[in-house]
A and B are shown apart, each in its own frame.
Chain A
Amino acid sequence: GAGVSQSPRYKVAKRGQDVALRCDPISGHVSLFWYQQALGQGPEFLTYFQNEAQLDKSGLPSDRFFAERPEGSVSTLKIQRTQQEDSAVYLCASSFTTGGNTIYFGEGSWLTVV
């Protein structure tokens, strides 16, 4: 695709609800990243995939957060039993290879937990 595409753009979830956020990276991009951006803050790293392999998930804040990329293209970030502190913009990014290449961001999924 022309750019990194994310859906839904906006999601309001009731506390305790499960949510799934989708990322469609730029075609052919090997690396895929998820970042969490709270209001007024810079993005914070959550997890990283190289093709279908999740090589780094050290930024996931709790075991309620789970990400997958089963076929090495589309990725899903799932948040179980959402809590208010999960409210943030979830940014997906991709790059052609690992390291030293421009990393392109999607427009984000804005999650509000009420």
Chain B
Amino acid sequence: EDKVVQSPLSLVVHEGDTVTLNCSYEVTNFRSLLWYKQEKKAPTFLFMLTSSGIEKKSGRLSSILDKKELFSILNITATQTGDSAVYLCAVEARETSGSRLTFGEGTQLTVNP
């Protein structure tokens, strides 16, 4: 059974801090790993990672995948209160019938002013 474990489950920081969110996975027929941000509504797409060692960046957010050790990290630098959200990690498995995402429980990030 595919499995995704995120840590920490919750994190409280002050504005300006840098945070690292962790995601480890076990999946048969790995296709990709995705990060989403969820603020009490639709999960919004952040990154899709398919290759090891290639960092993806978007502003203050960056992410990298290690397919050998089966984990990914999401970094947020110079955090702002607007970064407060649940960050979801999901892995996509290659299925004969299409594809599906298996999600972790999420990391609840709270950024205090």
Q: A33-B100, A44-B103, A98-B98 are contacts. A106–B42 as well, Cβ < 8 Å?
A: yes
For the complex, is B95 an interface residue (Cβ under 8 Å from A)? yes
A1 at the interface (CB under 8 A from B): no
A103 touches B42 (CB 8 A): no
| A45 interfacial by beta-carbon distance below 8 Å | yes
Judge whether B105 and A56 touch: CB under 8 Å. no
Partner of B97, one of A42, A56, A104, A105: A56
- B102 CB to closest chain A CB (Å) equals 7
Query: How many contacting A-B pairs (Cβ < 8 A)?
Result: 71
Q: Answer yes or no: A2 CB below 8 A from chain B CBs.
A: no
Interface size on B, as a range, is 20 to 34
Provide the A1-43 mask, 1 if CB < 8 A to any CB of B, else 0.
0011000000000000000000000000001010100001111
User: A59 to B95, alpha carbons, bound, how many Å?
Assistant: 14
Q: How far is the CA of A108 from the CA of B38 in the complex (A)?
A: 12
**Stretch with Cβ within 8 A of A (4 or more), from B13-21, B43-51, B55-63:** B43-51
> Which B70-113 residues have a C-beta within 8 angstroms of A?
88, 90, 92, 94-95, 97-106
User: Measured between alpha carbons, how far is A72 from B86 in the docked complex, in Å?
Assistant: 32
Q: Does A84 contact B (CB under 8 A)?
A: no
- Given known A-B contacts A42-B104, A48-B97, A100-B50, A107 and B41 have beta carbons under 8 A apart: yes
Interface residue range, chain A: 20 to 34
Known: A43-B88, A100-B32. A56 touches B43 (CB 8 A): no
From the candidates A45, A98, A108, name the one contacting B101 in the complex (CB within 8 A): A45
B residues in contact with A50, CB < 8 Å: 98
Identify 21 residue pairs between A and B in the complex whose beta-carbon atoms are under 8 Å apart, listed by A's number: A3-B42, A33-B101, A35-B103, A42-B4, A42-B6, A42-B103, A56-B98, A56-B100, A59-B100, A91-B42, A99-B31, A99-B94, A99-B99, A100-B31, A100-B99, A102-B45, A103-B34, A105-B36, A106-B42, A107-B41, A108-B42
Q: Which 6 residue pairs are nearest across A and B when measured between Cβ atoms?
A: A42-B103, A55-B97, A105-B42, A99-B99, A107-B42, A98-B98
